[in-house]
Structure 1
Amino acid sequence: MQRRDLMAEQRELIIKLGQKITDRIGVKVTTEDPEYWGLAGVVTDEMAEVALGMKVRVPMTLEQVAKKCKKSVERTEQLLQEMSVIGLIEYNWENEDRHKQYILPMFVPGSAEFMVMNGRQVEEHPEVADFFEQMSRLPLEKVTPMVPPGGAGIGMHVIPVETAIPATPESVSIEHISYWLNKYKDKYAVGACSCRRQQRVRGEGTGDIEGDLCIGVGDMADYLVETGRGHYADIDEVMAILKRAEDNGYVHQITNIDGEDKIFAICNCAVGVCNALRTSQLFNTPNMSRSAYRASVTPDRCVACGRCVQYCPTGAAKLGQKLCTKNGPVEYPQHELPDTVKWGPEKWDKNYRDNNQINCYDTGTAPCKSACPAHLPVQGYIKLASQGRYMDALKLIKTENPFPAVCGAICNRKCEDACTRGTIDQAVAIDEIKKFIAEQELHEANRYIPETVNHEGKQFEQKIAIIGAGPAGMSAAYYLRCKGYPVDIFEKEKTPGGMILNGIPSFRLEEQVIEAEVDVLRKMGIGFKCGVEVGRDITIEQLRQQGYKAFYIAIGAQGGRKLGIAGEDADGVIAGVEFLKKINTDEKSAHIKGRTVVVGGGNVAVDVARTALRAGASEVTMVCLEDRESMPAAKDEIEEALEENITINNSWGPKEILTDGGKVTGIVFRKCTAVREAQGRFNPQYDENDTMTIECDNVLVSVGQSVVWGSLIEGTKVELNPNMTVKADPVTYQTAEPDIFVGGDVYTGPRFAIDAIAAGKEACESIHRYVHKGHSLTLGRNLRQFPSLDKDNLAIEPDSYDNAPRQACHKKTDENGLTFRDLRSTFTEEQVKKEAARCLGCGATVVDPNKCIGCGLCTTKCEFDAIHLSRDIPEASTMRKSEDKMKAILPYMLKREIKIKFKKDK
């Protein structure tokens, strides 16, 4: 039933009942109010008659209720049972002889929440979800600025992670979850989260699935079970729920409306959907829910890994910098509070779900983390490596990159290019440290295999199909599997790896390195279906029929691009990527003879040139449009090519391939005078009178790559750009076909492996939200934006850092000369520790005490004992009955008004 239908005919008894239960001061309920239409669809007039005979939050026996509503005991009992299932009333046995009592609760926490907890009911009456949302918000719009720390008996109250509470005499029993578990020993029930369900039904889920996360205690446990809202649980199940909640970044909260030493539930709340947390965040009044504690950081211990920031539910922890500027330490802004300021809608944060996901202050943080496309916690794993905690370092890396060994071999090292240490002497050898850590993966006994369960400790049922076993596809599969999804990867080649296997020569990335990290995915339970080309051997529609609920297309840019000149179809002209694939597939039987010209100046072109030498070419010449300084290839790769006597001719573009009898004999180049226009658009200009001819037997073209689609997307709504990449949302990677997502080179065009890995992780989040209907793909999404600090404005004293020189790896030698083996060595353990000491540690977490709610989740994520809770708001642990809330609010309100007036007068 639609809300407008409920409002069409006024039902007086429902009006009266809504007016009776509401705690919106001064509101006269009409059919347009949630107090009316939230009840009208599920509450009959006869039920309303019964409820109107009850007092709000006052226990009554069956006989007392029957007498008040003037109905028979039998009929009253039947109605009360129906009303309990609906969620309009609750009951308990809190009296000397344990007889059953019925209670008409407030709307929140109470009727509105209990009505949503009835899963079937809220699906049939979605207006109930809106009802709960509005009754969690509207009564508090004016009162929240006047609420003292702890909530004054309104709603819920944060209780810290127990391990985060410092062992001090000031700590009181009610601040510990263990106290409440012991108090209600042997009487627990667990059920689905009503807030998560409400937001999903409203289409505003943020990826936090409703599951069995709410723990009812005491008589509430019996109520949940008897009304079909939950099941009984023992202490082991409850402890497992609490542990998983902490692992997933959910905030523990207890009910705070029944006075001292009494609760009826422990909830595990996600800030993107929780009404209690939402209220304090929406109105920018954290007093509504905060605990007696606040977090603070010890900067000397902090390494800006960002784990605490990622899990902070309120955006109180953000990344900043540790090093001083030339003007002294950076002063970070603190959130404005209503303590001494008039407060109204202009002070609210209606976009709090998105704003809480801002990870970094505008002034920036460590450049290494900022520059990395996957934003690896560089300082963190360097610090762990320096302590010899290599498996912990590997685990930390894998929070953002499942393939550190692969990246250690082929990474483009943007982190090192940005490293603050490079402004002093030389950048920290970040990639070499990562490579050393990642060598753990090469030893099967040392591999880190993550858990593959969801927040409920089990598997999701929705099957996900990944098409393409390259870095983007396997990254998405890894993170989806970590969330507990059954995942299968479809790969048309015989072996997984994609372009990192088929497009990178083994002297840069050996197959056993790839296989070691792929083996981790196998051990996680990811299925590999190799030799299957989707579109040819099976279609996406057929996969849908097999039960796959979402698809991630990441087939890479596996085709070469043509030059568009005469002669390029001659025998001896080969696309560079096809040449590499042929060599990588069978290097023993793949040969090339004679003089070889490689057209192109990127990293792939360098790989092609160096591979051609190893495959038998008598001499190799590279020719590219760019001058030496502008070549897109990495400097170290250019140097390696020159060391192998490969000739590089810069600022020339191909004009014509010369042939004789259909066979290549040479290639003519013309002088390139400009590669790009002033605006940066690619538009080469040539001097047609200045040409160069190179005689050769082979031309290997490496001027770009293209996506080869085959029949993969036939019959779908997927749309392509003119360059054959896919049109998709830039944040979610969702295509015009809602269940198809894309990533890696098919979306961006050719980039580096680390870019594809980062894209795979983002796609995981989108797919997770998509397969659970009712979740927004964008709302409250962590966009992971990390601006870099200003390196030119740092005051770095010479005696503040280790002045040791950058460590260097020594190349192995091979008596046979050029080889397909990777001859690059790895740091020794001693070198790792020396190099790690060169890190300036320029980033750090900064906590805004005005936003912190003292949940303690940050402390559970820190590997460095750098963030702690302190008990500095003891009054926040005072518990009051809801009926007594004004006793706390009035004194606080009066003090606040005096402060505001004094500030204004001053």
Structure 2
Amino acid sequence: MAEARELILKLGQKITDRIGVKVTTEDPEYWGLACVITDEMAEVALAMKVRVPATAQWIAKRCKKSVERTEELLQEMSVIGLIEYNWENEDHHKQYVLPMFVPGCAEFMMMNAKQVEEHPELADFFEQMARLPLEKVTPMVPQGGAGIGMHVIPVEKAIPSSQESASIEHISYWLNKYKDKYAVGACSCRRQQRVRGEGTGDLEDDLCIGVGDMADYLVETGKGRYIDYDEVMEILQRAEDNGYVHQITNIDSEEKIFAICNCAIGVCNGLRTSQLFNTPNMSRSAYRASVTKENCVACGRCVEYCPSGAARLGQKLCTKNGEIEYPVQELPDETKWGRDKWSVDYRDKNQINCYDTGTAPCKASCPAHLPVQGYIKMASQGKYLDALKLIKTENPFPAVCGAICNRRCEDACTRGRVDQAVAIDEIKKFIAEQELHAKTRYIPPMLNYSGKPFQEKIAVIGAGPAGMSAAFYLKKMGYPVTVFEKEKRPGGMLMNGIPSFRLEKDVIEAEIDVLREMGVEFRCGVEVGRDITVQKLRQDGYKAFYVAIGAQDGRKAGIPGEDAKGVLTGLEFLRCVNQDMENTRIAGRTVVIGGGNVAVDVARTALRAGASSVSMYCLETRETMPAAGDEIEEAAQEGIGICNSWGPKEILTENGRVTGVVFKKCVSVFDESGRFHPVYDEEQLLTVECEAVLVAIGQSVRWGELLAGTKAEFNRNGTVKADPVTYQTAEPDIFVGGDVYTGPKFAIDAIAAGKEGCVSIHRFVHPGQSLTIGRNLRQFSELDKDNLQLDPETFDNAKRQVPGRKSPDGNNNFRDLRSTFTEEQVRAEAGRCLGCGATVVDPNKCIGCGVCTTKCEFDAIHLSRDLPEASRMYKAEDKMKAILPYMLKREIRIIRKGKKG
């Protein structure tokens, strides 16, 4: 170990924020300075008084150096970030200030980008100096922070005009006070976390605004640039759009600040005081949020953006024991406080969306967690475009899903306990009809932290629902995205695997057109692995890959005769029909093997393609068939025979052509553990004569050479191995989603996976960002429907609305004849929603930033000035005047509480 540098030790001791600490060479106060400060600089700094402005001449006398040399060293230290300067005196002469570490030189040193790259240990230095001095003091700090650290200032439009407010609670007050003197620089906290490899996707950029003399300091030392009022407002608005929290410095009395920061919860050291230590007095504003329950629709937008984890989804309906009493965070006001009271995992804990008691089942059960109550409410008010915007926060393809979704939201709907579930999917389908008309489509604007497009090119391989969903959200964030699709048109299985009578092609095209208008590039007829390789795409500048090629191949049954003419997999048949409907015909008696939704689609398509008769044979009973009940019913209505509990034994052939199928009786499909393990009665056989057999018993992934030469690994079923949270494969720049990872599932599952893939890729392409820290895992739980007060007599008795049917159009029997609701039906059906869920705010965790109010479109969440004492600001030198009275009162309360206990 190098010999200790005494001058650096003395300097670290002089400016530390830690009261009563004897600085050693092991402490950040020492090694954080030692890496960038020379002993001669330390001599000059030791001649200064902490936080007391002084001229170069005065400092030169104290350190016994020439004025010229002193000024040189002061300028070097200013660039390094150890000291700052100002002109706050009567004749406006330059003065130098030696600040404390935080807020002060520790973060100023982080603002010197070149210096941090040369000395990455400065990131650890800043992190520790922003934490260690506060570990013991935070429980003793009264409302408002007592002149320590940073202070939340609410979004100005969130402050109710009907309430009294202090001028210092308004950003406009500070902008007017320092008019025409603004600069902006990179965020030290974001840079710190990036260098430490703990970024949460909130990237460093020009987001921290210096005002007054600090603006000059930032510019003259290369840490920032001047900006005008309009750019200040643009930055503040962009910060609010991205859910960042406005904070002001809180160490220079009520009439002075030097910065307005726009803070991200996962990285901000100032906000950390309330979240790590659970001591919100340090930073919270005078306001707290509360929810008007009757207006809340549990859309979850406020929850997703709440920086403190104070807002979570709960329920609106009463239980059999009355309303739920939700837990509140314990505070140190009358409790001894130590590490056992901290939330060390606060970055992840704050991303929990839902209370343990659950929330609206429709949102919880949907794989993409759509804001169902929200868009139903908007539709009932005729706000169809607003409803479409809200849906597209979670699902870029509402029209597609309106046609083919398996409606798990409706299966879970609480209204189903009263009579029938709300027709959620039909309402969504009505809203999504706007996508079919160019004039009423919603093209989302780009939204990211900087307001500028990213340069990192992303390749999406596969233009199915997962791939296009990833492309949608990546482009919305500002990435240049290219989608590679081996077929002649995008859409994947939506285009090639689903018949038009269930999903018309113009519906898919309309929603793909939205991606085109956003700027997503489609390169069709290009098979990655054959026409171009992943390695070549890397050479072309692509930084990450999202692979979502779907399970596009059908499985065979593995029985004799499957190679005969007249035998196809169901997916082969559907692809032929979808790509050339006019010329794809099937003749004679047709047998479809399988009982899932694909099998039903195959059977109904075969009937339309010319089969004289169609019958389905599957292992399951009628009650346990995996196909949707309404799909089975429609097939039966069309004359398709459905024969249950039969499995194929052999395909009979003559001269190479199919002549029939021998089936054996299926006794059971699953074993006692629930695994697929069919058992047959081999003595009970059935021979069915036919001219065509379509096998629809499963799907598989056809990889080709796509992942050749990569480290990606495969499972036994042909899916690819990946991290269950991030979807990252063993090849770091390759992410997967949809059926290639999960096996065959539904479009909505793939859409949800595409959005998560976007989150991972965004973090991956920016070094220093963790793929998991502070990540919203989107985990929701349903409320307990068995514990609700659901007296049918207290609800309306409106029946579930049923959409009409279109008239058949001549010979075109592939048209989707299902109509959408009328506006009257939408309003009637929306009125049946029980409004189960609602946001619940923990007042002890709320920091009063007001971000939640900017995300709510239902006038359901507001700020109130509950803590007026929190608007008081102090000088750092006067902090004990505020802390001591509070500390003494707190100690008395703790003692009294102990005696009562």
Residue of structure 2 equivalent to 1:892: 886
How big is the shift at 1:545?
0.7
- Encode CA deviations 1:162-208: one digit per residue, 9 max, x unaligned: 00001135211100001101111100001110000000100100110
Question: Which residue of structure 2 lines up, in the alignment, with residue 271 of structure 1?
Answer: 265
2:102 equivalent among 108, 111, 114: 108
* Matched residue SS, 2:295: coil
Secondary structure, aligned partner of 2:573: helix
Amino acid in the other structure paired with 1:519: D
TM-score, normalised with respect to structure 1: 0.99
Please state if 1:333 is matched with 2:330: no
Matched, 1:475 2:474: no
Summarize the Cα distance change of 1:63–1:603 in structure 2 as closer, same or farther, 3 Å threshold.
same
The alignment status of 1:14 with 2:8, answered yes or no, reads yes
Q: Map of 1:399-438 to 2, 5 A cutoff?
A: 399-438=393-432
**Which AA in structure 2 matches 1:849?**
P
CA distance in 2, matches of 1:418, 1:793: 15
SS where residue 833 of structure 2 aligns? Answer: coil
Provide the rounded CA distance (Å) in 1 between the counterparts of 2:801 and 2:88.
71
Deviation string, structure 1 residues 744-770 (Cα, Å, up to 9, x no partner): 000000000000000000010000000
- How far residue 454 of structure 1 moved from its aligned partner, in angstroms, is 2.0
Query: SS of the counterpart of 2:799?
Result: coil
**Structure 2 contact 163–865 (Cα < 8 Å) conserved:** no
Give the 5 Å matches for 1:453-852.
Answer: 453-814=447-808, 816=810, 819-852=813-846
> 2:449 corresponds to which letter in structure 1?
H
In 1: Cα distance, 2:581 partner to 2:737 partner? 30
In structure 1, what residue type is equivalent to 2:788?
A: L
Q: How does 1:361-376 map to 2 (within 5 A)?
A: 361-376=355-370
Deviation at 1:777, TM superposition (A): 0.4
For residue 3 of structure 1, what is the aligned residue in structure 2? none
Q: Which amino acid aligns with 2:762?
A: H
Question: How big is the shift at 1:801?
Answer: 2.6
Helix, strand or coil for the counterpart of 2:293? coil
Residue 456 of structure 1 and its aligned partner are, at CA, apart by 1.2
> 1:395 aligned to 380, 389, 401, which one?
389
Q: Tell me what 2:57 maps to.
A: 63
Contact map agreement 2:242 2:447 (CA 8 A) in 1:
no
How do 1:342-353 and structure 2 match up within 5 A?
Answer: 342-353=336-347
Give me the whole-angstrom Cα distance separating, in 2, the residues matched to 1:70 and 1:409. Answer: 82
SS at match of 1:300: helix
Q: Which portions of structure 1, spanning 4 or more consecutive aligned residues, are displaced by more than 6 angstroms?
A: none
Name the structure 1 match of 2:136: 142
CA offsets, 1:733-753, max 9 Å, x none? 000000000000000000000
Matched, 1:219 2:221: no
Q: Is the 8 A contact 1:454 1:460 kept in 2?
A: no
SS across alignment from 1:846: strand
Match of 1:4 in 2: none
1:583, 1:815 → 2: CA distance? 19
CA separation of 1:376 and 1:691: change in aligned 2, threshold 3 A: same
**Quick one: distance in 2 between partners of 1:469 and 1:228?**
46
What SS is found at the alignment partner of 2:208?
Answer: strand
Does residue 206 in structure 1 map to residue 200 in structure 2?
yes
- Show CA shifts across 1:279-330 (max 9, x none): 2210011111000000000000000000000100011000000000011111
- Distance apart, 1:813 and its partner CA: 2.5
2:17/2:102 contact within 8 Å kept: no
- Secondary structure, in 3 states, of the residue corresponding to 2:669? strand
**Which of 155, 170, 173 does residue 167 from structure 2 map onto?**
173
Distance 2:690 2:684 in 1: 20
Determine helix, strand or coil for the equivalent of 2:248: strand
* TM superposition shift of 1:103: 0.6
What is the distance in 1 between the residues matched to 2:301 and 2:447?
20
User: Following TM superposition, by how much is the alpha carbon of 1:816 offset from its aligned partner in structure 2, in angstroms?
Assistant: 4.1
Alpha-carbon distance, 1:818 to partner: 7.2
Which residue identity lines up with residue 332 of structure 1 in the other structure? Y
**Is the 2:460–2:546 contact (alpha carbons within 8 Å) kept by the matching residues of 1?**
yes
Quote the Cα distance in structure 2 between the aligned partners of 1:808 and 1:851.
45
Structure 2: gaps (5+ residues): none
Q: Percent identity?
A: 78
Contact 1:136 1:279 in 2 (8 A): no
The aligned counterpart of 2:45 is 51
Counterparts of 1:797 and 1:899 in 2: how far apart (Å)?
46
Q: Matched residues in 2 for 1:17 and 1:171: separation? A: 42
Kept in 1, the 8 Å contact 2:446–2:478? The answer is yes
Q: Secondary structure at the match of 2:679?
A: strand
8 Å contact kept, 1:359–1:784: yes
How many Å separate the matches in 1 of 2:204 and 2:885? Answer: 39
Output the CA distance in 1 between the equivalents of 2:892 and 2:580: 83
Residue 543 of structure 2 aligns to a residue in which SS? strand
- In the TM superposition, 1:72-91 aligns within 5 A as 72-91=66-85
User: Could you tell me how far 1:798 is from its partner in structure 2?
Assistant: 3.6
Query: Contact conserved, 2:651 with 2:662, CA < 8 A, in 1?
Result: yes
Measure, in 1, the Cα distance between the counterparts of 2:866 and 2:808.
65
Q: Distance in 2 between matches of 1:716 and 1:802?
A: 60
Deviation at 1:799, TM superposition (A): 4.8
Give the aligned residue type for 1:883. E
349, 355, 376: which one aligns with 1:382:
376
SS at match of 2:862: strand
Structure 1 position 858 matched with structure 2 position 855: no
1:118 matched residue in structure 2: 112
Q: Is the CA contact 1:453–1:459 (under 8 Å) kept in the aligned structure 2?
A: no
What letter corresponds to residue 591 of structure 1 in structure 2?
Answer: R
Q: Is the 8 A contact 2:418 2:792 kept in 1?
A: no
CA–CA distance in structure 1, aligned partners of residues 92 and 454 of structure 2: 41
C-alpha deviation, 1:887, in angstroms: 0.6
Following the alignment from structure 1 to structure 2, what is the Cα–Cα distance between the partners of residues 280 and 210? 22
SS of structure 2 residue aligned to 1:182: helix
What is the one-letter code of the residue matched to 2:49? Answer: K
- Work out the CA distance in 2 between the residues paired with 1:31 and 1:127: 14
Superposition TM-score, scaled by structure 2 size: 0.99
Instruction: Tell me which amino acid in the other structure corresponds to 2:646.
Output: W
Q: Is the 8 A contact 1:256 1:881 kept in 2?
A: yes
Q: Which residue of 2 aligns with 1:190?
A: 184
Query: Secondary structure, in 3 states, of the residue corresponding to 2:326?
Result: coil
Q: Deviations over 1:533-583 (max 9, x none)?
A: 111111011111111110000000001111111111111110111110110
Letter in 2 for 1:153: G
Number of positions where the alignment pairs a residue of Structure 1 with one of Structure 2: 900
In 2, the alpha carbon distance for the partners of 1:494 and 1:186 equals 57
Match status 1:247 vs 2:241: yes
Report the Cα offset of residue 647 of structure 1: 0.3
CA distance in 1, matches of 2:809, 2:432: 28
Distance between the aligned counterparts of 1:782 and 1:295, measured in 2? 22
Is it true that 1:444 corresponds to 2:444 in the alignment?
Answer: no
Q: Closer, same or farther in 2 for the Cα pair 1:295/1:216, shift >3 Å?
A: same
Deviation by residue 1:822-873 (Cα, 9 ceiling, x = unmatched): 0000000010000000000010000000000000001001111000000010
**C-alpha distance in structure 1 between counterparts of 2:457 and 2:775, whole Å:** 23
